[in-house]
Structure 1
Amino acid sequence: MADAIDLSDIQRRMDGAVQAFKSDLASLRTGRASANLLDPITVEAYGSQMPLNQVANVTVPESRMIAVNVWDKSMVGSIDRAIRESNLGFNPIVDGQTLRIPLPELNEQRRKELVKIAHDYAEKARVAVRHVRRDGMDVIKKAEKASEIGQDDSHALSDKVQKYTDDTISRIDALVAEKEQEIMQV
């Protein structure tokens, strides 16, 4: 009867949280310019929040510069504001429909700020994983209450969900430690 509960969905959702965390980490810079650095930025466009790459073209013309070519001239101000208000520490230079974003040299203070941001991303990922665990545990408890599974099966499934959770959180911790080391490397 324990087959009535699908643990692969729980594992898939936890893996999704890790993938989202990896993409968040990719947006933190470590020295060179990358178009991914602006991925987490959303812009108020046409009455809704849109990812930056859906309203502009992001390119890297040099190793320490990002260029954002805005498609709609009326969006330049809101894109400039969104980039400045992001927690990434960029100050774009507006040049017509193009925003040039020079990447400042990383000093120790900025490196520590980036590490804090990475830890914030990690905590959000851990919380997402814990929410998935809670949902899985709720399904198991409901199935046990409805006599679909026995108490032994319930405990075994709960242990598996907890093991998935522990493994996923340890993966997140390893990723953030690796990123922290990468950021702090001079």
Structure 2
Amino acid sequence: MSDGADFVDLKRRMEGAITAFKSDIAALRTGRASANVLDPVTVEAYGSRMPLNQLANISVPEPRMISVSIWDKSMVSAVEKAIRESNLGLNPITDGVNLRIPLPELNEERRKELVKVAHNYAENARVAVRHVRRDGMDDLKKAEKDGDISKDESHDQAETVQKLTDDMISQIDSLLTDKETEIMQV
């Protein structure tokens, strides 16, 4: 194929969205506490949004407890607020510059909340993949308009971009189904 879509770049970017989705759902633990649960939490600090792990040490001292040791004591309330507002259903207990976060027992209601969070992560990943598809389609239209590729080549490449998109979205759906099964398993 001549010019048109850069399939290697499109695939790399789509796989990046899937990798981000995998790390998001990996943080949704059902059994034991995991420091990864707090990975999506960002804190308003020093004039910008920062990941929690850049402001504190996160550890798991007990199977159902996460400990957050904040380095700057002026950030304690901001960190506590960010964790409460993170839609993870966590309620930190402040102890000086340390936060103790007990993980609630997973009743059916909590499991359903986790499934909703997983669905939100999946939708964000699908949207990211669709944005990459849109960029690829725009490149094809531009190449066709500039005369770099023929209308038939553009159509063939557009079908390839769509197939790549469909494959990536089916991977996301498969990962979501597996995670949903894991979460709902008692």
TM-score (norm 1): 0.97
Alignment match, 1:49: 49
Contact 1:2 1:149 in 2 (8 A): yes
- The reply on whether 1:80 has 2:89 as its aligned counterpart is no
> How far apart are the structure 2 equivalents of 1:61 and 1:31?
15
> How far apart are the structure 1 equivalents of 2:115 and 2:123?
12
> How far apart are the structure 2 equivalents of 1:18 and 1:104?
28
- The reply on whether 1:25 has 2:43 as its aligned counterpart is no
The AA in structure 1 aligned to 2:107 is N
- The reply on whether 1:100 has 2:100 as its aligned counterpart is yes
Deviations 1:5-57, CA, capped at 9 Å, x for gaps: 42111111100110111111112121210010000000111111100000000
Secondary structure of the equivalent of 2:87? coil
Contact 2:14 2:129 in 1 (8 A): yes
> How far apart are the structure 1 equivalents of 2:3 and 2:30?
46
Contact 1:119 1:176 in 2 (8 A): yes
Secondary structure of the equivalent of 2:57? strand
Contact 1:43 1:52 in 2 (8 A): yes
Point out where structure 2 has 5 or more consecutive residues left out of the alignment.
none
> How far apart are the structure 2 equivalents of 1:180 and 1:5?
35
The AA in structure 2 aligned to 1:93 is I
- The reply on whether 1:119 has 2:119 as its aligned counterpart is yes
Secondary structure of the equivalent of 1:50? strand
Contact 1:94 1:100 in 2 (8 A): yes
TM-superposed deviation, 1:2: 2.1
> How far apart are the structure 1 equivalents of 2:51 and 2:120?
21
Point out where structure 1 has 5 or more consecutive residues left out of the alignment.
none
- The reply on whether 1:6 has 2:6 as its aligned counterpart is yes
Contact 1:58 1:69 in 2 (8 A): yes
Identity of paired residues, percent? 70
Deviations 1:75-124, CA, capped at 9 Å, x for gaps: 11110111111100111111111100011110001101111111111111
Contact 1:67 1:100 in 2 (8 A): yes
Secondary structure of the equivalent of 2:18? helix
Deviations 1:121-142, CA, capped at 9 Å, x for gaps: 1111111111110110110011
The AA in structure 2 aligned to 1:81 is K
The AA in structure 2 aligned to 1:78 is A
The AA in structure 1 aligned to 2:24 is D
1:145-160 counterparts in 2 under 5 A? 145-160=145-160
TM-superposed deviation, 1:4: 5.2
> How far apart are the structure 1 equivalents of 2:145 and 2:46?
49
Contact 2:4 2:154 in 1 (8 A): no
TM-score (norm 2): 0.97
